[in-house]
Homo-oligomer: A and B are copies of this chain.
């Protein structure tokens, strides 16, 4: 990118928590992410020039809008801080990063705080699933349908099956890997949950079908969580490095980004991609754009991927869309261990949305924070050895808004 954007660090809340049970407001979650990030980076509140929030639907889950303004309440010296909230369904966190980095590139500000946040455990699962339906064309694709999104992503699997063939055992293995990785992540929602390959393959009362070919083990979680990220211009990063006696080159950057939007209805997507080697060509293009801006030829130029496994089918899609295999051959990378920890290109060392959790508006910032942690060697038990560059893919709706980043 023309103007480099530096990533100074951030903070993730424990995705296993239930903030309603703790009797805490969504602003408490934002507060912990913001203050935790300031502590992690060693930044002072007064150094922050602007605040951005990524959030999907606090209006529905928490009866609260205008979330940007809540950043101001976190510290007295934030009073006056320009703030905004950004939304593109489950890609909201990445959209907030795009907005923050654009302002830095434009020279408007030098140091931005980005907080992705979602409080989801405020309602029962059926009502929550209905809220999530507003990420699709609600009246046409979700209204009156129980758990619309598992069904939409089940159909993504069906489309793969139709075009290339798809075995559910490969989806089960994707689920198993994500749960397994999450066990090493101390902030992952499912770190203490029971899950085996047998369990993921089964279809019984402990792993019931939610919709179409999607079973409980194929689904990401309903999660409360927030993740902050601090982005800096070269000027601010240089001052930051100097103050700490570290080299500017040691601070990771957003090396590239891609952003595309497909038609919102799943049927329209499938109709449009007929004859295209990729089922979601705009998602593919967002990835290619990120690679191009980062100056890397293909996926083998990164050391790990944090992708949007809202369902096992979306990770299955990501495998060929990232280019780990030819279109339709993602099962090969699932079978041969490529995507596992220690494999040629690990996917979701954090556990991803299935294992780490999926607080919708927070997922994009959590992914980039995990990418930052990987390339700075801060991932502890889920560290990918020697990771220098990590790619992310964040998706809103049924493959509608796609945002990819490369961090390194």
Chain A: residues with CB nearer than 8 A to chain B? 2-3, 25, 51, 56-57, 59-60, 63-73, 79-89, 95, 98-99, 101-103, 105-108, 131, 134-139, 143, 259-265, 268, 272, 282, 285, 396-397, 400-401
Contacts and interface: CB of A to CB of B under 8 A. Distances in A.
A86 B89 contact: no
B261 A80 contact: yes
B88 A83 contact: yes
Contact of A102 (B63, B81, B108): B108
Contact of A134 (B56, B59, B98, B99): B59
B138 A261 contact: no
B72 A262 contact: yes
A119 to B, nearest CB: 13
B106 A263 contact: no
Contacts of A71: 261
A262 B80 contact: yes
Nearest to A285: B80
A106 B107 CA distance: 8
Contacts of A63: 134, 138-139, 143
Contacts of A102: 99, 102-103, 105-106, 108
Given A89-B66, A106-B3, A400-B66, A82 B138 contact: no
A80 B260 contact: yes
B83 A85 contact: no
A66 B135 contact: yes
Contact of A106 (B60, B106, B136): B106
Given A2-B107, A106-B3, A263-B72, A65 B89 contact: yes
Contacts of A85: 86-88
Given A66-B396, A72-B261, A84 B87 contact: yes
B139 A401 contact: no
A2 B63 CA distance: 39
A294 to B, nearest CB: 15
B66 A264 contact: yes
A80 B402 CA distance: 10
A84 B99 contact: yes
B107 A66 contact: no
A147 to B, nearest CB: 16
A396 B83 CA distance: 11
Contacts of A86: 84-87, 99
A46 to B, nearest CB: 15
A51 B3 CA distance: 22
B82 A69 contact: no
Contacts of A59: 57, 59-60, 131, 134
Contacts of A80: 260-262, 282, 285
B88 A69 contact: yes
Given A69-B400, A73-B268, A84-B95, 12 more contacts: A2-B106, A59-B59, A59-B60, A66-B87, A66-B135, A66-B396, A73-B265, A80-B261, A80-B285, A83-B401, A87-B87, A101-B106
A401 B50 CA distance: 13
A218 to B, nearest CB: 22
Nearest to A261: B83
Contacts of A143: 63
B105 A107 contact: yes
B69 A264 contact: yes
Most buried by B among A86, A87, A105, A261: A261
A187 B73 CA distance: 39
Contacts of A83: 88, 261, 401
B79 A84 contact: no
Nearest to A55: B87
Contacts of A261: 51, 68-69, 71-72, 80-83
